[in-house]
Structure formats: structure tokens, C-alpha cells
Structure 1
Amino acid sequence: MYRYFRLYLTCPIMVCMSDSMSFETPMMKQYNDIKSDYPDAILLFRLGDFYEMFLEDAKIGSRVLGITLTGRDKGKDGKIPMCGVPYHAAEGYITKLVKAGYKVAICEQTTVPTKGKSIVEREVVRVVTPSMLLNETAEASTQDLLLTTHVLRNVLGISLVSIQSGDVYVSSEPLSKKRDPISIIEEYVSRYRPAEVLLPRSWYEDPEIISRIRRLGTSPFVYDAPHTKITAATQVVKQYYKVMTLESFGLKDQPAAIIALSVALSYVTQTQKQKSAFLRSPMHATSKDYMQLSGQTIRNLELFSSARSSDPSTSLFAALDNTHTVMGKRLLSTWITRPLLSVDVLKKRHDTVSYFSQNNDSVEVVREHLSRVHDIERSVSRLSVGVGSARDGVSIRTSLCEATEMKDKLRNMSKLPHLVESFVKRGYWSTVTDLYELLSHSLADEPPAIISDGGMIRDGYNQRLDELRAIRRGGTDTLKKIENRERERTGISTLKVKFNKVFGYYIEVSKANIDKVPEDFIRRQTLTNAERYIIPELKEYEDTVLNADAQIITLELELFTRVVEMLLDNIGVLQELSRDLSVLDVLSGFGDTACQFSYGRPDFVDSDELTIIGGRHPVVERIVSSGFVPNDISLSSEHERMMILTGANMAGKSTYIRQVALIVIMAQVGSFVPAEKAVMGIVDQIHTRIGAMDNVAEGLSTFMVEMVETAYILHNLTDRSLVILDEVGRGTSTQDGLAIAWAITEFLEKQSKAKVLFATHYLELSALARTFDRIGCYHMAVGVTPREKGDDVVFLYRVKEGEATRSYGVQVARHAGIPSDVIQRAEELFTDIHERSKLLTPQDKVQPTLF
């Protein structure tokens, strides 16, 4: 079952074989035959202690890896480009190639050289892709998903698979004239940030489609799925999960999703060359159990990176990430993408956060042990696909020990919350103990990274292995006895018994003493200052030791394979334990963060109320040096459910409306929130339209992008939605922009019950608050200081009721460093324009009169 190999890579390149075929040695013929099966891949071809690359692969490898490009003689036509990397250091090179956007195919020697056979057999043992980067030296990532799709009867089936965590998600998305497959794929890429997207050949050969997907920061690859008929695809899924029906997965009436999942399962099996079923049962990506966050919202609210600089350190994820394990980081990333809608489940999470925030002893126990827990999920995946080593077993062993000790300590503590108590009372603990004992008895404390180096299995685990090791260890005494005996027999006090890989064991005698060498010494090598000899006894000993070494390696691999099989027989227990540890990691981190930054517990109510007292932006408050100014908000369908927020540039409007959305997400993830008090009903969707950005690749102007995103919101919002609008309408003329902003506001008030925060410089929109009872008018307060040449403003960052009198754009320009002559002229023009402006508020509900 188990194997060890190096790696292989594939990238969107097509290599011409004609150069190598013009002079084709047996080895190059073998290379070309294997390469033809992986035409879009860079092939790492094992030759002795190196992985070699040839032709275009070599040119790419040389450029990406920064290694020397050489050549292999191909006769009168010149040389074949080639370069190589040492097999024992290949993992780092493979990681670099994959991160550069390539796949890697690893071709290993599968037989040993024999007399009469000109070439050894070779085959590709694994394909490494961006979503399958399980190398020991590669850093674990929260962005490792594989996305696959299939279109069937106006439905796009989607599958998302994490080979590191084993999580699997599926979805079925209806298609229409306004929702084409590529647009939906773009939305899923923005929302879930997969590392790799598989496309059918017809899509992959369309440059526009490839450009649209690559622009989102993921790697698209072509894959000709072997099963695209529902009957065959269903069989693939059932065989993988060893089930008789897919009804328990909720897939009975989702044929497109089933085919998409079968594509992913086939791809994983083909690239990893393994059939071990380590992936978890599929869950639904779009579910009524989770808040819907579009890719647009995830980007605008900067949940995972800054929209401007793509810096992850200024994201909500960074603010909440107080985890100690990689598994916890992955789970937190999933939770932020999928906030909960269940008040009961949220209560259990908040109870746990409350417990950890109030019980220092408990949180210290949990976090101390979690700090020594390794990535069990990733180790299980590595062992499942055959790239793991005994070090993965040791990592699992250490983690099982830490988990058990943590459980035992928590058991003695009182008033445990439900989630912690459930962890302590899990039914898997006896199995965990058995697995820990298995790994403790079988694996060495510090096994080698490479299986073939030996030393994986602990002394005392297997009698035959101990006997073979005794033979090898006894060699030192035997060699010393031979050396001392020959010194005494020959009278050569400097005689030495030595070993090298070329000659094996030999006796070395200096030139000054060769006249004392007896006749039974057989000369093997002459050096400048010495002669080397062998004797029959030394040769017999060498055969015994070398045979023992070979048997040790073979037996260790057999024993390790059995240990891995016993581990994987309990893969469900390991995955369940991993998830429980991840949950405790995230929630204990929430508790610690709540104490550190004075977060409060949110209260959920049955109504659509959203009340926040003393709310703060969880990211900005950690950055500003002058102290963050907290603000309140109160929205509901019974009172005001829409806020029009006006005020000066730089006064804090965008920060305020974003912080409201972030507090809602934090609360429904299970975290405490940066506020004195938060009372809210469940929000099922958050929609945002923030920022100005064009899309040149698709020929969309800044304003068109703005309108497309706004249209998506108006078509998809619900009565439980929270809508965040920032400067809608500013990308066109003032007249058109105000008209559109006014009409959108009216639509949101009349056609939905969604809660809306609308930040705008259109002061005229404040008039809507006098027309509609559910619309409130607020502004960001500023202080005005008279100056000799124009007034100056001081930003107070406080939200106050009522409309702003002006936006103070000229004053902001002064703060930005605009030359004083320009500022003075702008003040003059502003006064003139303001006095002459006849801009009216809309009167006609159908067609507003603006000018």
C-alpha cells in the first residue's frame, strides 16, 4: 500500500518532442513516452541521485529555480537542454515550481539496474499541483482548495476539496442569461479563494476565460474528466465513500454537483496515485445554515486581506487569529467565510468563549497543550496519499498525547461549557489511547525524513529487526578484532580496517610497511602513500553486514506500512479529534482576544433589531495611535432601518459602516465583539458596494462596475439582509449620480425590509429622511477652526443625528498637501458655485427633476 517517491510538476505548457526525437537514445525514448502522458507538465525524471528536466521543462526549471542550464549530447544536431536537482533536496524545488504556477510530475525508478537490461523501468508516482502541495517542507496553507465544476441541464455543479484538511463542499447553481457559468465560478473563486481550478478543455482553450480566472489569483488547469455521465459519476462517488446511496449526503437530486464531485475525486486519485479514502463526507457550500457572503463583500470588508495592498495583516482574519495550530487557522478561515444562522449553535460557541475569557486556568491549560499539537489533518493526508514519513506518525503521536493530557486536566475542572464537556466525554478516547500506544511502541523518537535511510522503527518492536540491527551494530567489535589480530600477525602497528562505498571494507597499509604484507592479502588499490587489500574474512563480513542493511530497510518499510494502515483504519477518529481540537483552538483564542481588547458578548433576539453601543472597528482600533472613537447604531423595521450618513471626506464614514458589518460577522462566527453592547437579530446576508475600481480586461468602467455590483445587491437581498453602500453614484456626473442614488434609496425603502447603511456626499439625500419614517439622517461630526485663508476642519469621528452642511473637500485637500494657491482658488470657486447652484431635490417620483 505505502510507497515513497519524490515529486512531479505540470504547468500550462506544451512541449515539442521533435528535438529530442531526432536523436533518441533508449533513455530519451523512455522519457518521451512518459512525457507524452503529461504534455502540460514539467517532468522530474529520476536519474540516480538527481531529478533531471529536459527540453522546454529544463528551460523553465532553470529560469524559475535559478539553476544552471546544461545540455545532453544528441549527436551532430547539438545538445538537448537539461538541468537537474538533487533528489534529497527536491521538495524545496518542487514547492517553488508549484508556487510559480506549474504542476510537477515526479517520475521514479521502479526497478534496479540488472545485467543484460539497458535501462531501468520508470513511472510517474505523483503529481504535485497548487491544491496538492503536501511536501514536508511546504508551509501549510488556509488557501488550498481545489475547485471543480460541471454543467448539466442549466445547472452548474461545483465541488470544493481541501486535500490538507479533508473537507469537501458541493453546490448546485442554476444558470440563466444573467448568471453564466464563468461568472458563477468567478464568484466562488472570490468567495472561497481556491488554489486551483479545473476546467474542461473547451473553457481552458478560451483566452478570455483563463484571463478572468487568473486575474482572481488562482491557477486554472485543464482536466479531461473520465466520468461526465451521471450514472458513472454516481458510482465513482459511492465507491470512494463506500456507501450504497448518496441520499445521506443530500445529493439525491443534484446530478450536476455529483458529477463535479466525481471530477474532483478522479483528479485526486489520478494525481496522487492512491485510492485511500481520506476525504470527509461532502457538505453543502451554500446552505440555509450559513450567512451568505459574496466575493464582493469578502473583498470590500477586507475579511482576509487589504483591498488596496492585499496585505493580510490588516484583515479581520488577522484580528481574530489567535490560534496556536494550523488546523485552527484553517477552521477560522472557514468560519469567517460561513457565519452561522443558528442561534442555538452560536450560544454554545459564545458560552465557550465566555468560559475561556473568565477562567484563566482553563485557557492556559488548553492553549499550552495546543501549542504543542501538530497538523494532524495534514499528516493524515500525507500518509493517505503515500508521501508521509515516520515524522508524520511522530507528529500525530505527540498530538494525541497532548490532547489526552489536556482532556484529563479539563475533566477535573468545574462548570465546563457544553462544547468543552462534549470534548472531554467523546467516545473516541479509548481509540486515541490505542493509537498513541501503537505509535509509541513502533516509531523511533527522531526518525529520518527519508524512509530509505532507515531508523524509523523503535528497538524492541520487532524481534527480527532487532536481530538484524544487532548484526550491524556488532560489526564495530568484529572489525576491531580483525584489525587488532592483523596488526599482531603482521607486525604493522599502523594497519587499519576501513570502508568506502566503492571498495567496501578493506585493509590499508602504508608504503613503508608493504614488505610486511602476508601473501593472503589481496591487493585492491594503490595510492600514493598506501596500499589497500582485502582478505576473505573481511569480504564475508561485508556481505553479511550489507545484506543485513538491505533486510533492515525492507523490513522497516513493511512494519511502517502496517502502522500506517492501522492508523488509516481509524481515520475518522483522527479527523474528529482534529476538528474538536481546532474548535477549542479558535474559541479559546476568541476568549483570549476578548480579554485583551475588551470585547463584549453579543445578544441575539428574534426580531430584526441591530443595536450596537460603543462599537469599534476591530482592525482600525489596533492601528490608530490617538485612540479609536466608538460609535452607536440602532436599526430595526419597527423604527429606523436605513441610515443615510453624510459628512466630510476622511471623517470616518467608510470605517463606521464597515465596522457595523464586521461586528455582525464576528458575532455570527461565534466571537465576542468590539462593543460595550450588541443586540441583534440574525442577519442572513451581507451585501456591500464599496470603493471605486474599473475592470479594463472586461471593458468595464469604474461606474459600470459600480452599477453591476449594485444590481447584484438589489436582485438578491432579503428582509434579513444588511446592506452597506458607500458613495454609490459617484462614478458619473453629479446629476446622474444623485438620480441613481436617490432611486436606489427609494427602492430599498419600498421593496425590502433590509437594514441599510448608505454613506454618501450627496447631501440632498438627507431630504428622504423627511419623507420616509424608516430612514434616518446622520452625519460625521467635525470641528471647524477659522483661518485667515479659509476654514480648517478637525475630524471628531463621532456619528451624530442630522445632516451635514457640507463635505469640506477643500479642507481635506489642504491636509493632503495640495499647494496653497490651488486651495485658495478652490475656496473662491466653491463659494461662487455654491451660491449659483440651483440643485433641487426630486419632486416627481417617476422622473426626478434635478436641474
Structure 2
Amino acid sequence: MPLDAPAQSTISSYFKSSTTTPKKPGKRINSPIDLTSEGEDDAAPSKKPRLEMGSDDTNGRHATSSFADEWRYSPEKDRQYDPNRPRTSAEKHRHEAFKKRLLQDNSHLLQEHREVVDVDQDEPMVVDKSSESDNESEDRFQKLSEMFSNPAKSARAKATSKRPIARSSKGKAVEILQLKRENEGTVLFVEVGYKYVFYGDDAKIAAKELGMVAHMDRNFLVASIPVHRRDVHLKKLLSRGYRVGIISQIETAALKKISDNRNAPFERRLTHLYTAATSYVDDLDSVDEVEKYAVSPFMCLVETKNSDRQADVSIGMITICPSTGDVVWDCFDDTIMRLELETRLVHTRPSELLLPKRGLSEATSKMLSHFTGLSSSGQRTRTEQIKGVMDYTEAFSRLSKFYTDETKFGSASDSFKSGRLMAEITDLPKQVVVALAHAIEHLSKFGIAGALLETKFFTKFSTRAHMLLAANTLTNLEIYRNETDNTTHGSLMWVLDRTKTKFGARLLRSWVGRPLVDKRVLEERITAVQEIVDSDSSLLETLRGTLRGLPDLAKGLCRIQYSQCTPKELSILLPAFAKIAEAFDEVDRPEDVGFKSTILNDIISSLPKLKGPMKELMSAVRLKEAAEGRKETMWTDEEKYPDLIDNIMALQVLEKEFDDELKAGTDFFFHLTFYLFSLKTALVRKKLRMPSLEWTTIAIDEYLVEVKRSEKRPIPDNWILHSKTKNYARYQPPSVREKLEERAQRRETLEAKANEAYRSFLKEISQHYYAILRDTINKLAVADCLTSLAQVALQKDYVRPEFTNDDRLEIVDGRHPMIESFNEDPYVPNSIDMGGEDTRAKIITGPNMGGKSSCVRMIALIALMAQIGSYVPAASVKMGLLDSILTRMGASDDLARGRSTFMVEMSETSEILQTATSKSLVILDELGRGTSTFDGMAIADATLQYLVQNTKCKTLFITHYPLLAAKLENKFPRDVSNLHMGYIAESRIDGTRNITFLYRLTAGLATESFGIECARLAQLPETILSVAAERASAMQDEVQKRGQRNRWAKGPFTVLIALNILLQKAPYLIQDCLSKKGILAAASLDDLQTVKESIENSI
């Protein structure tokens, strides 16, 4: 078509096709081959003619040998362009047609860009149809498109999937740095795709603690773990004392695609914050628990100085165990040695401490520093700091606000209105109120402050109804752990624990650590144990069957309270509670149950109260769907959560549309084939041969069309290539892709709504059913402990102890409970009688390895077991209740706290002297052996004399000082008696002696310890033992001769003078004893006793 030639070239002229047919020049060597040419295969392009400057020949640009040369740019052209020249009508039409065509959806120039960034469509343009026809523009643009695309590959292969815009490394670094700044001191698990990544210092910690490799990635040192291994590594870091945060991607891909910020990076946020003692509650019945008694409590301490010399400080304590919901508080005075604090730390074993940053005394800081060191199991105690301690007014104000916040805790507001809740808070000591306020403030960060709502479940650590065992007593008597490998095996807990549930085992541990001192409560407990042993009631058999196989209900209830319970766990917990509720029939009064024990009546009568609540909860959930984790379909009342039903129905409609699409897609395939290849329709249908076309699923990708590549079927250009193999190619129609995207959006919306509904259900349980469920768990724990003690009572030769109102302790043929369980050989029993008409203090001597320490431990353990409410290994036991058992045994230093062996010995002895009362049982094993003989004897003498004269408690005193034992027995014949462990000594021909240990507690004093014979049993060389025997005999003879010389060296005149002085002093001392009272009279009596001994020695 001829065109008006302008004075100079325009842009539209570059895209104008030539009207002449290019000639076919001959081939030339070294000529470039144009692979885009549409000419014949053997035609080579000719050399493009050189354009002269200023030439106005507009047809010269078409003198090329190919279609590509027709559109090739020449720098000469832009010099001919005049931007001010107006366009002709034909040029305007061509320009608008080109613009319209370029911006259409089928433009290959914009197709890839449109897949990433959504470009607004232009308004439809009005085109002057009087000019060049649109058909010509369509044809010419089609040629241009074919030049920029490969119709065999690009039209399908490049349109595979919509890829999000990649974030630059700089933006990612900024995001990570911001997260680290917002969470200082926290090891961050950053979710990135299918893994969690550690960055910077966190990667170093992960490499050190988790044993993984860290490497540099752009700006950061990184390490990573798979998503499914998160909890394994999380618990390991928590056990090492770290605080761990989970950074989650809070947006899903499908929902983000239709959101307003679809072009922005995925948002990440801190969704979980964990420490070992706060928010991480392990899965129900997790196999990762080391032992069933292990809990991870959180403890907050507040200290104030005291003016009292005896009590250096006063300490308020609050302890919370998130995994069980137990809350324990206490307020106590402590001395410079901080033994009271140590006792509470050993009992509770907290894994995290919340302490004031400033103001702690040096002694308290040393004790806490010693305790927070690495344990034998490799765990560390984490320490958080309070920047500023509240005063009582501020703390009470914050507690009032917490317990009256109706928006968060509706159940608490009702208690507050009744006045009960705040009355309980007001009754707490001021220091405990301050500690509680700080604990709530700290736990609120982890979302578990709700554990402190039910104040009726708060318990005081030390009460008048319980005996408090000191830390060294727990260690010396091996109450919780043995002293050999520090495990439960071989301890008193190991002997007594026959529990069926984990929450029952934890309660039994509390019973063992805090024996009863209230006789009425103790008689009720041991009566219940006896009734379980003697009764053949079917109710007890039902109770045992109910306890058998129960999950950890206490932990499960806490997971519900913290919204951490999974549907599968809920499907275990609800039937377990329902089983408990249906185990017994309802009764009007506890007495109607029919047992003599009020405890058993109360337990069994309370369990049927759970029937109503459990009926409501069980009717709300489909357990089968819950066990499979299907939150969207586990509800029986579909109207309760209408959003779930709407999304489920929409998904069902989409699935139906997929089935319809298969047929429609097949029809569309044939119609499109006919449209494109109308001349070859019959041939294509014959080659297709796909009347039974079905959708194919590859891995996780659904609704694909799979064809054999060898068949070379005509695939529509807009179909999306999914994948290729050597033999097959898989495609996906665009309409299917759109429906899949819609389905993904629906599924993610459904998942979000299902999670919301599930959390709402857990919150409903916490608010309306927590109290009754928790009370049921407590009652079952008591029942479990009683049945455990009943099984212990069934062992051979175990008897029920008899409790009296006097201070007598009589054990007949008592046996050591742990040694008897270990050894197959029969244990040699021993008897003892202390108090009443017999002496209160017993000095025990005897050979080394004769069984002295085991004997006194046996006496203490039997007394302890009796006051727990257990039967005891003895022929009979009669005892008045003890208020404490205090021990000083063994030899060990404490270098971490700067205390030598002797300093530890003296510190523990000092605490015993300050704590012991007339109802205490005190055990002192070889007191004074850590220093010189004379100093040790003096300290032992003074200590025992103080206990006999002042404290007047039951005392078991082991010593290797026979002179001391004889002197004190002579001095206090009514209060002190000597016992020794029986033995038989036989002399051999070679001069050595053979010792046979009888392990029997026998009246009288043992004058020898047989240390050399004990060394011989330890296989010391005989040459050394021979020299030692000679030296011992020589030293003994020398001491005896020196005593005789000193006695005869006194002349008659010297003796008379000494006697005269003493006799003159005696009457005054006697007068003082009669006239004075209290401490002065006791001092005069001591002086008179000294005068008497001096007169005897002089004579």
C-alpha cells in the first residue's frame, strides 16, 4: 500500500512493512545467519545497504533480506525524526492501534510483567476506522510478537507460575536486626519456608548447644533446622536456661495474594515466647520427661532487711508451676547462712528465678549463685531481674486491676464482686503480695498469668500442719535422690511410689517432703490407707480401675488453660474426665458412700459432680474428628460457628466445579483445536484419542492433564506447563489454576476460622469448668497416693504405727526400708526406745563399718514414714509426733560458697541448735572430726550438753570419743545413755584381730573403733598396718603412763590446798543455785559441777 512520504522518519515508520518483496541473494562466506528469518532454509541474508546522511528515501529501510531486518533499528533514522511535525491521519491510526495492541493481555511483552505486578487497564480507545484497517494491524503485530517469542516453548513454558517479588538482602537484614532489637536476650527461631533459621549470635548459640553447623550467608552467620524438629531443639535450649522466641510468618500465601498488601513482603512477628519454667508446657504424656516427679516451677523472691540479729533478712516467695497449675507461697525469716532459703530451693527446685536487680544481700546472692549453677543433669537455672521493686501500695493496686479485669478474665470478676478473692489477697503477707505482683507482670509477657487467677488453689509452703525437712536432711536421708548417682532409684520416694498417675506421683512427692504434724489429719490419712488394705469393697476396685490408664490430667488442663492443647489431646482428656464422672453413682451426702474414712467418702462422693459438665463438653465435640485434628468438622452444633459452615460449603462447591471442569476442559480442548486448526480438525481428533481424560495428581499438585510427549498433541497456548519428563508433559488449564487459587484461599480462611473457634472452645472450658476439673484432679491425686501407700503396707512385716500424746519414740525390730529393698539377704533389725521413762539422748559408739550411720538413718526414716501416713518396716512403732527431723551427717565442702568441710559441719550444727525444739529428732554423726582431737572433743561435748540440758530433744549422737561418751553418761545419767553396735573381736596367731560385725544395737560403750581392722578390710598393705598397730599401742601406753605420773606427782600439801579452795567455793555456788533463776542459776550449776569434777580428779 503506498504511503505519503514524510520529510523525515517517524517512530511508526520503523514498524511499517515493505511493499516490495526482498530478493534472494546468493550465499556468502562469513555472512551472519539470521535464525529468525522466515525465508527458505538455504537463503542467507544480504548485506544491508549503507544509508547516506540526509537521504529522504523512506523505502531504503526495507531493502533487507529478512523480516527481522525490516524491524531493525538504524541510528540514521532518529536524525530524520522531527518531534514537532504533526502526524497524518493514517499515522495516528497506526499509532493508536499499536498502543492498543501492545497493552492487551495476549501481548508477550507485558504478559510476564503482568503476572507479578497488576497494571491498571487503560480506557478503551476510539479509533478512526477510515484509515488503515485493524486486520492489517493485527497481522503486523502478530509477526512482531512471533519475533520476540518462541511459539514452541515460550508461550507455555514461561507462563508456569506467578512468582512473588524477591526481597532484597538489605530489606531482609533490616527486618532481622529490627526483630533482634525488639527481643534482646532471646534466641529467635525465624520461620523461613520449611525451616527455622538462627541469625547472628543466635546461630553461634545453636551451633554450641545443638551441635549444628553455622555458616555465613550474606550479612549474617546463620544456622537452620527443619520445621518438624523445632520442639526437640526448643526443649534443649530451654533446659540450658535460654529464653526462646518463635518468629512466625503470620500471613499465608493465598490470602496475601488477594489482600491490599499483596506486593509487600510477608510479615513476620513474635508469636511465642518460651522459658523452661513459664510458657512451655510439654505435650500430653510426652516421652521427653526425665522423671514423672520433675516439674519446672518459676519462683519470684523479694527480700527485706531485718533488725533482728537472729533473723538477718525476711524473704517473700511465690512459686508457680505452669505445667501443673500449682502455686505455692511463703514468707520467712532467715539467718546469715540462708539455710531456710536453701531448704525451699531444694524442695521446689525452680528452673527460673525472678530476682531484684539491686538490693539483694550478699549472703542471699551467694546462695542463689550457688544454686543456679549447672546441675548434674546438665540443666541451668535461668535468672530474670526486676529493675525496680514495687512497694506494697503499688503492688496491691496492680493485683486489684489484674483480678478485676472483666475483659480478660470473666470468672475472676465474679469472685472479686463477692469479696472472696481480694480478701484472700489481703490475707497474704506484704512481701508475698509484692512478689505476686511482680510474678503476674512477668508471666503476662508469656500469656500464662491466668494460672494465678484461682487463689483458692494457693498453698503455703510451711504450715503448722506440716513438718519441714531441711535441705541437708533431704540429702542425708536420701529422701528424693540417692547419694550415689543422684537418681530416684534407691531413695525413699522409690520405695513409697506405687502411683498410677503422674499428678498422683507429684502429690506423693509433696507428702514425703512435708510430713504431717497434726495428729487428727494424720490419723485420718492412715485410717484411709488401712481401710484400702483391709476392705474388699467394689468401690475401691472401681477406684483403682479409674486411676489406671489416666493421662496427665493436671498438665492437660493447664494446656487447655494456655490454649496449647491440640484437638488430639482434647480427644484424650475429655473421655478421661467422662470416665471419671461415670465411675460412681451420685450420693446425697459423703457419709452415704459407706466407708469409715472421711477422706475416701469425700473423694468418691465428689467425682459424680462432674457428670453434668462432662455431658455438655462431650456433646459439643465429635471425638473421632478431633482425634484426627480436624478442627473445622469436630463440632456437633454447626450453628455455633457459622463461618466454618460457609467455608466448608464453598469448598464443596469448588470440588464439584473441578469435576465439571474436566468435561468442560475436554470440550474446550476440541473446540480450541478446531478453531486453530480448522483445516485439520479430523486429523487432530483422531490423533488425540482421549475420550477417558482424567485429572492427574503429582506430589501435592492436583488437577493436571498428562499427555505423552511422543504423541505431539496440539496443546492450547494458554495452558500452563507444570512439568516434563522424558515421556510425559503435564499441563494445567488457566481456569483450573484460578479455581485452585480460590480453593487455597478458602482453605486458609477455613483454617483460620477453625483455629479461632477451637481457641474459643478452650477458653470456654477454662472460664466455666476449670474449678471443678481442677478439684477433681486434686481428689484423684489424693486417691492415687492413698492406694500407693496401701500397696506399700501390703509388703511383708510392715505395720501401722501407733501415735501417742507423749514424747516417746519406741521402735521394735525396725528395718531400713531402702537397704531391705535392695538386698536379698535379710536385714538385721534393731530396736530403740527414746523419751518417756527412758533417756532422750543416745550416744552410739562402735567399730567403723559397724552400721552406726545406717542404724540412725533407719530410725529417722521410720519416724518420717509414719508421719507421712505410711505403714513402716518394723514389728511395732509407738511414737509421739515429731515437729522436725534434723541431721548433720557426712563430710563435704562447699567451695563455691567459700566454706570448708569443717565450716559446713559447724554451719549445719549451728542451724540445728537454733531450730531444734523438745519435739525434734536430732542426728549428729561424728561431730568435731573435721578439726584437731581436743577441739573436736570440746565442740562435741559442749553441743551434746546443750541439747541435753537446754533443748531436751531426742538425740542420736555418733562418736568415736569414748571418754566423751563415758563422761556425759556419768554427768547426765537420766538423760544420756550409751549404746554401741555389737561385734566380736578375736585375736589371731599372727597378732592381728578378726572382727565380726553383728549390726545389733547393744547397750554399753565400745572402747575401741578398730580402725586398723577396718583398713585391713579395705586392703591396705600389711606392712603399713603393722607399723600403724605398733604406733597405736605405743601411743596408748604413753598416754596411760603420763596420766599415772601426773597423778603421783601431786604432793599431799598441793592436794590439800586445792581441796581447801574448792571446798570454800562450793557453798557459794550452792547458794547461787538456790537463790538465782534462769540462766544465772544454770551457770552456777555448771560451775558447781566443774568444782565437783576437780575435787574428784584431785583425789
TM-score, normalised relative to structure 1: 0.88
Match of 2:194 among 49, 52, 57: 49
SS at match of 1:445: helix
Deviation sequence 1:371-412 (CA, Å, 0-9, x none): 211112111222222322223322321321332344359999
2:393 aligned with 1:393: no
Structure 2 residue aligned with 1:788: 989
Percentage of pairs with the same residue: 25
Where in structure 2 are the equivalents of 1:449-528 lying within 5 Å? 454-455=630-631, 457-458=633-634, 460-462=636-638, 465=644, 491-492=689-690, 495-499=693-697, 504-515=702-713, 523-528=721-726
Structure 1 residue aligned with 2:178: 33
Summarize the Cα distance change of 1:347–1:393 in structure 2 as closer, same or farther, 3 Å threshold: same
Match of 1:336 among 512, 518, 525: 512
2:729 aligned with 1:531: yes
Alpha-carbon distance between aligned partners in 1 of 2:652 and 2:788, rounded to the nearest angstrom = 49
Q: How many residues are aligned here?
A: 816
- Counterpart residue identity of residue 774, structure 2: Q
Alpha-carbon distance between aligned partners in 1 of 2:527 and 2:597, rounded to the nearest angstrom = 6
Where in structure 2 are the equivalents of 1:698-777 lying within 5 Å? 698-767=897-966, 768-772=968-972, 773-777=974-978
Alpha-carbon distance between aligned partners in 1 of 2:374 and 2:527, rounded to the nearest angstrom = 38
Deviation sequence 1:571-612 (CA, Å, 0-9, x none): 111111111111111110110121134421111111111111
Structure 1 residue aligned with 2:357: 201
Q: CA deviation at 1:778?
A: 0.8
Q: CA deviation at 1:657?
A: 0.8
Alpha-carbon distance between aligned partners in 2 of 1:446 and 1:306, rounded to the nearest angstrom = 47
Structure 2 residue aligned with 1:157: 316
Alpha-carbon distance between aligned partners in 2 of 1:643 and 1:482, rounded to the nearest angstrom = 96
2:851 aligned with 1:652: yes
Q: CA deviation at 1:41?
A: 2.3
Q: Which moved more, 1:744-753 or 1:662-671?
A: 662-671
Structure 2 residue aligned with 1:15: none
Where in structure 2 are the equivalents of 1:340-489 lying within 5 Å? 340-359=516-535, 364-408=541-585, 415=595, 417-426=597-606, 429-435=608-614, 437-439=616-618, 441-445=620-624, 447=626, 454-455=630-631, 457-458=633-634, 460-462=636-638, 465=644
- Counterpart residue identity of residue 726, structure 1: D
**In the alignment, is the contact (CA less than 8 A) between 1:325 and 1:371 conserved in 2?**
yes
2:1058 aligned with 1:831: no
Q: Which moved more, 1:570-579 or 1:141-150?
A: 141-150
Summarize the Cα distance change of 1:250–1:239 in structure 2 as closer, same or farther, 3 Å threshold: closer
Structure 1 residue aligned with 2:227: 87
Where in structure 2 are the equivalents of 1:7-156 lying within 5 Å? 25-74=170-219, 80-112=220-252, 114-130=261-277, 132-136=279-283, 137=286, 138-139=288-289, 141-152=293-304, 154=306, 155-156=314-315
Structure 2 residue aligned with 1:17: none
**In the alignment, is the contact (CA less than 8 A) between 1:101 and 1:130 conserved in 2?**
no
Summarize the Cα distance change of 1:474–1:656 in structure 2 as closer, same or farther, 3 Å threshold: farther
Summarize the Cα distance change of 1:249–1:717 in structure 2 as closer, same or farther, 3 Å threshold: farther
Structure 2 residue aligned with 1:263: 438
Summarize the Cα distance change of 1:204–1:374 in structure 2 as closer, same or farther, 3 Å threshold: farther
Summarize the Cα distance change of 1:782–1:747 in structure 2 as closer, same or farther, 3 Å threshold: same
Match of 1:272 among 442, 447, 452: 447
Q: CA deviation at 1:216?
A: 8.2
Alpha-carbon distance between aligned partners in 2 of 1:774 and 1:67, rounded to the nearest angstrom = 67
Summarize the Cα distance change of 1:774–1:220 in structure 2 as closer, same or farther, 3 Å threshold: same
Structure 2 residue aligned with 1:4: none
Deviation sequence 1:333-370 (CA, Å, 0-9, x none): 11122111111111121112112222466655433321
Summarize the Cα distance change of 1:209–1:301 in structure 2 as closer, same or farther, 3 Å threshold: closer
Alpha-carbon distance between aligned partners in 2 of 1:89 and 1:445, rounded to the nearest angstrom = 27
**In the alignment, is the contact (CA less than 8 A) between 1:233 and 1:262 conserved in 2?**
yes
Q: Which moved more, 1:820-829 or 1:462-471?
A: 462-471
Q: CA deviation at 1:209?
A: 5.9
Deviation sequence 1:761-783 (CA, Å, 0-9, x none): 22223322232112121111113
SS at match of 1:804: coil
Q: Which moved more, 1:527-536 or 1:493-502?
A: 493-502
Q: Which moved more, 1:539-548 or 1:800-809?
A: 539-548
Q: Which moved more, 1:247-256 or 1:567-576?
A: 247-256
Summarize the Cα distance change of 1:397–1:545 in structure 2 as closer, same or farther, 3 Å threshold: same
SS at match of 1:293: coil
Alpha-carbon distance between aligned partners in 2 of 1:384 and 1:423, rounded to the nearest angstrom = 24
TM-score, normalised relative to structure 2: 0.69
**Pairwise CA RMSD:** 3.4
Q: CA deviation at 1:417?
A: 2.5
Summarize the Cα distance change of 1:602–1:257 in structure 2 as closer, same or farther, 3 Å threshold: same
- Counterpart residue identity of residue 775, structure 2: E
Summarize the Cα distance change of 1:599–1:402 in structure 2 as closer, same or farther, 3 Å threshold: farther
Summarize the Cα distance change of 1:535–1:630 in structure 2 as closer, same or farther, 3 Å threshold: same
Structure 2 residue aligned with 1:663: 862
Structure 2 residue aligned with 1:20: none
Where in structure 2 are the equivalents of 1:670-689 lying within 5 Å? 670-689=869-888
Where in structure 2 are the equivalents of 1:233-312 lying within 5 Å? 233-241=395-403, 242=412, 243=416, 244=419, 248-249=423-424, 252=427, 254-272=429-447, 275=450, 277=452, 280-281=455-456, 282-312=458-488
Q: Which has the higher contact order (CA 8 A, sep 6+)?
A: 1
Q: CA deviation at 1:247?
A: 6.9
**In the alignment, is the contact (CA less than 8 A) between 2:651 and 2:746 conserved in 1?**
yes
Q: CA deviation at 1:628?
A: 0.9
- Counterpart residue identity of residue 171, structure 1: D
Structure 2 residue aligned with 1:595: 794
- Counterpart residue identity of residue 301, structure 2: T
Alpha-carbon distance between aligned partners in 1 of 2:586 and 2:817, rounded to the nearest angstrom = 33
**In the alignment, is the contact (CA less than 8 A) between 1:160 and 1:170 conserved in 2?**
yes
Q: Which moved more, 1:124-133 or 1:639-648?
A: 124-133
Alpha-carbon distance between aligned partners in 2 of 1:564 and 1:308, rounded to the nearest angstrom = 45
Alpha-carbon distance between aligned partners in 2 of 1:457 and 1:835, rounded to the nearest angstrom = 95
SS at match of 1:108: strand
Structure 2 residue aligned with 1:189: 345
Alpha-carbon distance between aligned partners in 1 of 2:325 and 2:821, rounded to the nearest angstrom = 35
Alpha-carbon distance between aligned partners in 1 of 2:652 and 2:1088, rounded to the nearest angstrom = 98
Give the structure with higher Rg (CA).
2
- Counterpart residue identity of residue 67, structure 1: M
Structure 2 residue aligned with 1:314: 490
Deviation sequence 1:130-163 (CA, Å, 0-9, x none): 4544131452653422221112353321112221
SS at match of 1:533: strand
Structure 1 residue aligned with 2:17: none
Structure 2 residue aligned with 1:10: none
- Counterpart residue identity of residue 733, structure 1: S
**In the alignment, is the contact (CA less than 8 A) between 2:586 and 2:608 conserved in 1?**
no
Structure 2 residue aligned with 1:616: 815
Match of 1:214 among 341, 362, 372: 372
Q: Which moved more, 1:554-563 or 1:275-284?
A: 275-284
SS at match of 1:580: helix
